[in-house]
Amino acid sequence: MSFSMNQYWESADCLRSRLSGFQPEALMILGSGLGFLADELEHPVSVPYGDIPHFKPSTAPGHKGQLVFGRLEGKDVAVMQGRMHFYEGYSLQEVTYAVRVLRLLGAEKLIVTNAAGCVNREWSAGSLMLITDHIKLCLESPLRGENLPAFGPRFPDASTIYTPEYQVLARNAAQSLDIPLKEGIYMFFPGPQYETPAEIRAARILGADAVGMSTVPEAIAARHCGMKVLGLSLLTNMAAGILSQPLSEEDVLDAAAKASRQFSLLVRNCLAQM
Ligand code: HPA
């Protein structure tokens, strides 16, 4: 399913009519463990996805379905409280719909975070990772189908999806907060099943440090329409086959909750400096 320019504008106009002049400069799409940041916005205005034309509900556990607008760290932001995933059955155009709508509302920055499996054997669960690049072998792309040139070119450059200047900023933020921050390559798997041990071995050979089921579509769509992107992963578990225990969603959510305070400090500090 792809959308027309008219549809994106209908959603943007609907939001504009509820925001009385508020213009978000950054969009934050927060993965498991960080959704609470939306509750920390000053002067929040929440708009349920169901009130916005063409928006889809998020069905993932722990993900509320609303956009929250407000001020955080001195910046006017929009937070997606609940993101859409490919595994929920949405097309990647649907998954990334909000990114383009927020771009039409004037947002030029994206902070995107996730819970991910740790592929790098030298690291441990609980680590935070700056995403420096990604691998996506899944054939779908949010840009497949008719190109809308108002957003960006048919064949966009992908050599700096994760904005180098934001990577510097995140390294500095981590250092000043004394939070250890790994950096590496995030590999997208469509899910919803976790990866097999053989897939994780393959991912490692290909150069991945982390694996997960989100973030890459949003980052591609954001970069396509000229936004700057910061991507951060919370490595909630060692990826399949590294430890002799099965992966469970419960363990992932527990680990995400444990690291959430540190993670939110880092994200807030990055936002403050953007
Ligand atoms: N694989 C994929 N997605 C994930 C994982 C994982 O190991 N952990 C958290 N999200």
Residue 34 has a pLDDT of 81
* Tally of structural domains, the chain: 1
Residue 59 has a pLDDT of 67
Residue 63 has a pLDDT of 59
42 torsion bin: left (phi>0), alpha (psi -120 to 50), beta (else):
beta
The residue whose CA is least distant from atom 10 of ligand 1 is: 116
Q: What is the tens place of the pLDDT at every residue in 99-148?
A: 999 999 999 999 999 999 999 999 999 899 999 999 999 889 999 999 99
| 195 Cβ contact partners less than 8 Å away, ≥ 6 residues apart | 117, 189, 203, 211, 239, 240
Mean pLDDT computed over 65-81:
95
Between residues 211 and 35, which one has the greater pLDDT?
211
The residue whose CA is least distant from atom 7 of ligand 1 is: 117
Structure letter (DSSP) for residue 77? E
Hey, how many other C-beta atoms are within 10 angstroms of the C-beta on 98? Answer: 26
Cα 181 to Cα 151: distance, rounded to the nearest angstrom: 33
Between residues 244 and 107, which one has the greater pLDDT?
107
Q: Is 183 in the pocket of ligand 1 (CB under 6 A)?
A: no
Hey, how many other C-beta atoms are within 10 angstroms of the C-beta on 176? Answer: 10
Cα 107 to Cα 91: distance, rounded to the nearest angstrom: 23
Task: Give the 3-state secondary structure of residue 236.
Answer: strand
Task: Tell me the pLDDT of the chain averaged across its residues.
Answer: 93
235 phi, psi to nearest 5 deg? -85, 95
The residue whose CA is least distant from atom 5 of ligand 1 is: 117
Range of the structural domain that residue 238 is part of: 5-273
Q: How would residue 56 be classed by pLDDT, with cut points 50, 70 and 90?
A: confident
Mean pLDDT computed over 209-238:
97
Residue 58 has a pLDDT of 65
Residue 46: give its domain's CATH number: 3.40.50.1580
Global confidence as pTM: 0.95
